[in-house]
Chains A and B, each alone.
Chain A
Amino acid sequence: MTSPDDLEARLLALGESIDVPSPPPDDVARAVRARLRSQLAPAASAPDSGTPDPEAPAAPGSPVPESPVPEAPAVPGSPVPETRTPEAPAVPGGPRVLRRAWETLRDGGRVRRRAVVAAVAILTALLLGATPAGRAAVAEILRFAGVELRIGGPGPLPSGVPQPLPGERRVTLEQAREQVAFPVSVPAALGDPAEVRVSDGGRVVSLFWPGVRLDEYDGSLHLVFRKELGPPWPEDAGVGAVKAQWIPAHHGLTYLPRSGGRAEVRPRPAGPTLIWQRGRVGLRLEGVGELGRAQEIARSVR
């Protein structure tokens, strides 16, 4: 029933579907270089001034020990230093690329590095949890800012018309601020919301703009939403200095009412979402398809 060729073809296809996250090649190259440098030129090449020179990594024509970049740790097992530029080619193009990478580093490119670390962390968790059954199943549960992320085998997306949240009412922004026990904030980048709703006795405030929804809730104590997702995996992002989770793909979203599981709202499909926490307020921004823009909006929350 299974011919040899068939099995071999299936193994090849299986191999191709196996996803091994690896850090951006340029990061690895720089990390290896840092290790080599620390071993090849120990202590001897201490910088003559304590001031880091931002241009140092971009200095052309100095292939061997530049003054050690303070940022680059050579400690084995430490995360890959520095960052990748999204548009950087797989093969470094010399000083220009390095300079670009350096600029990205200064411009908060660390977010990317964290994303890599997160991918690896999730992988590890999957490995420990997924075998021996290894079937499509929840392999990892992350709880963050009042949201439970169930990461695992991709189930089919829920279908149907989204139900409103329990007790959802249309209000003005001012009314919303009076009715809930946490500060309601508005992202300046989006301007005044087209619509404001309060749900579940003031537990959730939802702000709407065309195609975009921002839910705010007390995210410090209880789970308010559950998301079920498969690959692509959520990424550690950041909103300023605050941790955030970026869910790039469509996924299933369930509201978990205050009353407990009894009146659980039917899951609905949700678009790309950024989740973060501001004080005790959890926020989920849905409908912005691009992480950079989502972060920009999130940073503008006042």
Chain B
Amino acid sequence: MESLPTFAKEPPTDDDEAITRSLAGDLDAYEVLVARYSVLAHRTAAMLGAADEAEDVVQEAFVKAYRHLASFRRDAHFRPWLLRIVANETHNLTRSRGRRDRLTVRLTEVVPPPGEGPEEAAVATDLRARLLDAVRTLPERERESVVCRYFLQLSEAETAQVLDLPVGTVKSRTSRGLARLREEVARDLT
């Protein structure tokens, strides 16, 4: 065991350092990386349809990411690279279950701003629930792009990487999705 390198006790401060140390076998450094992206990874898995298996999907994705860390291009960003693995794991899961993946999330309560009562908050909550329904019923391809762009707040380039699509395709799917949502919303309000 004395051949093991010793590492600085401080946690790595940025992704690059954490990756370098992880590649050298420093599991402490990898833990930092996992903790840093855990919430986003769970969010991604849940929103792409992993439902109650998001935890397992995420852990497996982190395990795979560790194993393939050597193939990670060091001039790239870790976030979309990791999320692509999460998205792949989620797809594998939903496919293996033979179940259509669903957008499976819940809404938090609208906190009424000062001066507004619970009625206004209820209306706002209802409007959001309707919009969420509309997103849920989008065709899968459009929905995934919309979810990545707006719910996960990824850039077009990141979305393209996560979904393994050309940027142009992300653009067109997103705008088709938005157009469909606009129709839905308009129908809902009239």
State the A residues within 8 Å of B (CB).
1-2, 4, 7-8, 10-15, 17-23, 25-26, 28-33, 35-37, 39, 60-64, 76-77, 79-80, 90-95, 120-121, 123-124, 126-127, 130-136, 153-157, 230-231
Contact = CB atoms under 8 A, between A and B. Distances in A.
B35 A91 contact: yes
Contact of A33 (B30, B146, B178): B30
28 contacts: A2-B182, A2-B186, A8-B150, A12-B150, A14-B131, A14-B150, A17-B128, A18-B47, A20-B54, A22-B42, A25-B36, A28-B58, A28-B62, A33-B30, A39-B63, A61-B6, A77-B53, A79-B55, A80-B55, A91-B36, A94-B11, A124-B51, A130-B106, A134-B130, A134-B133, A135-B130, A154-B125, A156-B118
A20 B105 contact: yes
Contact of A7 (B36, B152, B181): B181
Given A11-B131, A32-B59, A230-B109, A90 B35 contact: yes
Smallest CB-CB A-B distances: 4 pairs:
A22-B42, A15-B151, A25-B35, A11-B150
B78 to A, nearest CB: 15
B106 A91 contact: no
A31 B59 contact: yes
Contacts of B105: 18-20, 127
A61 B28 CA distance: 10
Contacts of B42: 20-23, 28
Contacts of B29: 63
A25 B39 contact: yes
Nearest to B53: A77
Contacts of B1: 62
Contact of B34 (A18, A28, A95): A28
Contacts of B38: 22-23, 25, 28-29
Interface in B1-47: 1, 4, 6-7, 9-11, 25-32, 34-36, 38-39, 41-43, 46-47
A12 B136 contact: no
B158 to A, nearest CB: 15
B109 A134 contact: no
B56 interface: yes
Interface in B40-93: 41-43, 46-47, 51-56, 58-60, 62-63, 66
Interface in B88-127: 102, 104-110, 118-119, 122, 125-126
B165 interface: no
B174 to A, nearest CB: 10
Contact of A136 (B25, B28, B129): B129
Contact of B59 (A76, A133, A155, A156): A76
Contact of A94 (B6, B10, B47, B178): B10
The size class of the interface chain B forms with chain A is: 35 or more
Given A20-B42, A22-B43, A26-B35, A127 B11 contact: no
B9 A77 contact: no
B157 interface: no
Contact of A32 (B62, B126, B129): B62
Contacts of A136: 122, 125-126, 129
Contacts of B11: 91-94
Contact of B106 (A18, A93, A94): A18
Contacts of B59: 28, 31-32, 35, 76, 80
Given A7-B182, A33-B27, A91-B11, A17 B56 contact: no
Contact of B52 (A1, A2, A63, A123): A123
B186 A63 contact: no
A273 to B, nearest CB: 18
Contacts of B66: 32, 36
A64 to B, nearest CB: 6
Given A30-B31, A37-B27, 6 more contacts: A1-B189, A11-B131, A28-B35, A36-B66, A94-B9, A124-B51
A36 B66 CA distance: 8
Contacts of A123: 46, 52, 104, 106
Contacts of A133: 133
B136 A132 contact: yes
Q: Which of A29, A64, A134 has the most CB of B within 10 A?
A: A29
Nearest to A96: B9
Given A19-B107, A29-B38, A136-B122, A14 B102 contact: no
B155 interface: no
